[in-house]
Structure 1
């Protein structure tokens, strides 16, 4: 184990995933979300397949006794990706990132319902606090449904899509927890990618457009960033415990703030930052509590990049 290397890899993966979001947002005004999901997934495949082939695990990664489980997980993942890419077209990148912080909190609720996990007062309090934080983030946008401007309505719609996407991420995490008890993480990763390529291709009849050279370069970059980010994320959890590096998920806000301001001139509101702070604190309490209870989520976290 090398915790310093694990943390460095985790930070690198977060930077790559936020870079991915930035490139998708840059083309969102012209490229449909389904098309963006296709190219992101397609161009990530060579990185993932090359990594598995280099480590001699490609053949074993393709073997599974639970193909429908992987297809279910991949389907939910595609839905989360498509909704988040759509939301990026309507909202500042920092807001989409902040709303996605709800995913671990929703996961706790779903784990209690579907996996029978016990949730005691500390985590119940953290979940309630996190939901309050999400409401603080969403409330200004939800007021847009009653506004007269079309832009306000679209931003409100984007906020709802981002929240639904976060719920899909939480469902995907629950499915991953079941899958990693049967197959290795590499199998989960490869089938998620293959499912994403196939399902997103089915959206082609619904308005795909021919990308310009610059847009194609950004889509290529998004796919490669996703593949490299996934590789770094999975490797990070082989060098350090989940409780050590999981909190570094929240550095994504720093990257989102920087990229959003530099490339799109976005400035976050104080209310959004306050809500994000509440959600982050709630998430850190949940991570701390899981660590105290000895529930290592390293495997499921390693194959579940947030918001990508």
Structure 2
């Protein structure tokens, strides 16, 4: 899980190098990133064959891809303008959007405690955003938008997983994400890197995207999710460290109390989820 966090941090450095530093359009960079990841996923698709494509919920698959694509496009656009430390802290609000969405759209019972933790988490977001500060830029809302759309994609994934196999959900994500990203890139004029550094950055983004997802899957296959999930929060200091080493980006003073509120609220939600699962298991056994 720690290696997954480090790989995601490396992806973000590569994306910010290609966009913020080299001036490539973010939509093109995102397309090349996931195009490279798709090439690495071809052996997996071939191994599972056409059987993994059988589905009775094509509409939900397409809707999920739309949300996921908008999320990655907003994330890429955010990294083109927002320093890594701020972007990664804001995108960590995604679980709170999932909680609100589960209550509003899936009619799930959330509870007062979870709603309170969600408000605390969004309070941390407000502290990091600092909309009251002089020189505030609306671009900081892009990572927050990415968190919201990724949260929506997670809700649809949850609904799909009730009837679909994991192989089917993964196959449609791999096959549909790249062509839709291409459509976004074409609207700005598909751009190619103009320097060797650009090619290295895009290749690194694709490679580390595959590595991150591999390490993530490996972590969940080796241990319970309740054990490994807290280590996911290490991506916050890892991204801060990578951003500082690569670009000299240092967080402002408002980052630390805001990040603490987000992480504390997220940890409470995970703790509450473990209690709910344990209670459900006891009821099942009885």
Same fold (TM over 0.5): yes
Q: CA deviation at 1:57?
A: 2.5
For the residue of structure 1 that corresponds to 2:173, the secondary structure is helix
Alpha-carbon spacing, 1:126–1:18, altered in 2? closer, same or farther (3 Å): same
RMSD: 1.9
Q: Is the 8 A contact 1:37 1:196 kept in 2?
A: no
Residue 244 of structure 2 corresponds to 261
Structure 1 stretch displaced more, 188-197 or 77-86? 188-197
1:92 to 2:83 alignment: yes
Output the CA distance in 1 between the equivalents of 2:124 and 2:166. Answer: 32
> What count of residue pairs does the alignment treat as equivalent?
275
Alpha-carbon spacing, 1:121–1:66, altered in 2? closer, same or farther (3 Å): same
Map 1:109-124 → 2, pairs under 5 A: 109-124=100-115
Residue 206 of structure 1 corresponds to 188
Match of 2:225 among 242, 246, 249: 242
Residue 7 of structure 1 corresponds to none
Q: Is the 8 A contact 2:45 2:171 kept in 1?
A: no
Q: Where does structure 1 lack aligned partners over 5 or more consecutive residues?
A: 1-9, 297-308
Output the CA distance in 1 between the equivalents of 2:259 and 2:278. Answer: 25
Residue 229 of structure 1 corresponds to 212
Residue 304 of structure 1 corresponds to none
Q: Where does structure 2 lack aligned partners over 5 or more consecutive residues?
A: 280-286
Q: CA deviation at 1:49?
A: 2.7
Structure 1 stretch displaced more, 31-40 or 230-239? 230-239
For the residue of structure 2 that corresponds to 1:99, the secondary structure is helix
Q: CA deviation at 1:104?
A: 0.5
List 4+ stretches of structure 1 deviating above 3 A.
Answer: none
1:294 to 2:277 alignment: yes
Q: Is the 8 A contact 2:86 2:255 kept in 1?
A: yes
Map 1:32-181 → 2, pairs under 5 A: 32-53=25-46, 56-139=47-130, 142-143=131-132, 152=135, 156-181=137-162
1:285 to 2:268 alignment: yes
Match of 2:169 among 166, 188, 207: 188
For the residue of structure 2 that corresponds to 1:116, the secondary structure is coil
Q: Is the 8 A contact 1:73 1:172 kept in 2?
A: yes
